[in-house]
Amino acid sequence: MDIEQVRTFLAVVAHGSFLEAAQRVHVTQSTVSARIQALEQFLGARLFTRNRAGASLTPAGHRFLRHAKTLLLTTEQARHDVGLPSRFRASLTIGARIALWDGFLPHWAGRMRERAPDISLRTEIGFEEDLMRGIIAGTLDLALMYTPQHGAGLQVEHLFDETLVLISSDPDRVELDDSYVHVDWGPTFYAQHRQAYPDLERPAQRANIGWLALQLILANGGTCFVPDRVAAPYLRAGELFQVADGPRFRLPAYAVYPLESDSPALDTALAILHSVIAKHPPAGEGR
């Protein structure tokens, strides 16, 4: 098995067709077929069922899919680490929820470039499940998230608390109606939200990230909860408004990394992260 076979497998999964996968990876369809056949022979299992509609995963293919993603990520990480130019002494891969990349973590990345220019950075966006998988698999060195999982060999460190505020496209809006976009900020938010709105029926609109909810209410009007630091520029510009007397919810942010890491680069990254939090607290207007 080689990485091109794995890459081709993932291309077929993504496009549902050997022909489209061939176009995606810039080889002939016969090459795709040969790679998949070689991979199936190595694994001892059939990965795809082919028909007129394209190619669909077999049960064995579904089981291999998770491993294929990890193999590709590990290979890319190895290339990033081993193939460093001589001016870099180390590399770090950091992943985080998109809301933490909004304003906050770019400050950290900029400070890293200033204080540790000999450390190469790879940055990623992900959800908790993907971020935790990356830390456990070793494809991530550091992950920032809102709902971490505790596990053996992992350090879960509380960094700071976000404050989620209710913002609206209408300065006079008070009640939640069908224009409200419910963001999945995790179980901590859900518990506080349910306590504040015990009689609220299932919202008409839901979003898995705050950025998407913002785009929806900017385009169509409505309300949603986002961190006050994320809301701040929209409030200053008069594009959105904080709902008067709206509830404010606490949302802790955490860093997760290997407990027994012997990486000086990770130590540097954490020290700079703490200094950024101390000098530029992740807070918007009205904290």
Locate the domains of the chain by residue range. 3-79, 84-160+252-279, 162-249
Is residue 239's pLDDT more than 60? yes
Fold of 162-249: D-Maltodextrin-Binding Protein; domain 2 (3.40.190)
> In Å, what is the CA distance from 198 to each residue of 91, 166, 181, 195?
48, 16, 17, 5
pLDDT for 255? 97
Strands 181-183 and 205-207: parallel
Asked whether the domain spanning 162-249 has the same topology as the one spanning 3-79, the reply is: no
Helix (H, G, I), strand (E, B) or coil at 235: helix
Fold of 3-79: Arc Repressor Mutant, subunit A (1.10.10)
CA-to-CA distance for 124 and 100, rounded, in angstroms?
A: 11
Q: What percent of the chain has pLDDT over 90?
A: 69
Residue 218 confidence class, pLDDT cut points 50, 70, 90: very high
Is residue 285's pLDDT more than 50? no
pLDDT for 287? 40
Is residue 279's pLDDT more than 80? yes
Measure the CA dihedral 170/173/179/181, to 10°. 90
CATH number, domain 84-160+252-279, options 4.10.140.10, 3.30.420.130, 3.90.1150.10, 3.40.190.10: 3.40.190.10
Residue 85 confidence class, pLDDT cut points 50, 70, 90: low
Is residue 81's pLDDT more than 70? no
Q: What percent of the chain has pLDDT over 70?
A: 94
The pair phi, psi for residue 13, each rounded to 5°, is -60, -45
Give helix 3-15 / helix 18-25 axis angle, nearest 10°.
Answer: 130
